[in-house]
Amino acid sequence: DAGVIQSPRHEVTEMGQEVTLRCKPISGHDYLFWYRQTMMRGLELLIYFNNNVPIDDSGMPEDRFSAKMPNASFSTLKIQPSEPRDSAVYFCASTGGIGYGYTFGSGTRLTVV
């Protein structure tokens, strides 16, 4: 298995632009999570899905952030408009059952200038 695949690995964008981060979970995993990692705040859960349905989006910072999971093999996290304070590493993770732990992707390092 190729693991959790995220794209792009790095993204540099100008303030105000739309940014879309992509994630392909491991086949058969029915939970998908989006986390954000910063030096100041550590790892923060943004949103998670179960069977493609958003279960908890209470960690989404504001309306500029949105996430979708149109099918079991693809999810997006969109920021529109982006701001410098959104600069962080964004991780996607999936699991087939919490007892197994999560498998994380390699992350997308977002820089908003």
Chain contacts with another protein (rule: CB under 8 A): 4, 31, 33, 42-43, 45, 48, 50, 55-56, 91, 93, 95, 98-107, 109
Contact 20, 68 (CB under 8 A): no
Tell which residue, 84, 94, 88, has the closest CA to residue 10.
88
DSSP per-residue letters across 53-93: EEEE-TT--STTEEEEEEETTEEEEEESS--GGG-EEEEEE
Task: Compute the least distance from the CB of residue 104 to another protein, in Å.
Answer: 4
- Tell me how far, at minimum, the Cβ of 16 lies from another protein, in Å: 27
Q: Which is nearer to another protein, 72 or 81 (CB)?
A: 72
For another protein, which is the closer residue by CB, 86 or 105? 105
Candidates 25, 26, 29, 31; CA nearest to 45 is 31
| Closest distance of CB 55 from another protein, Å | 6
Nearer to another protein, 52 or 106 (CB): 106
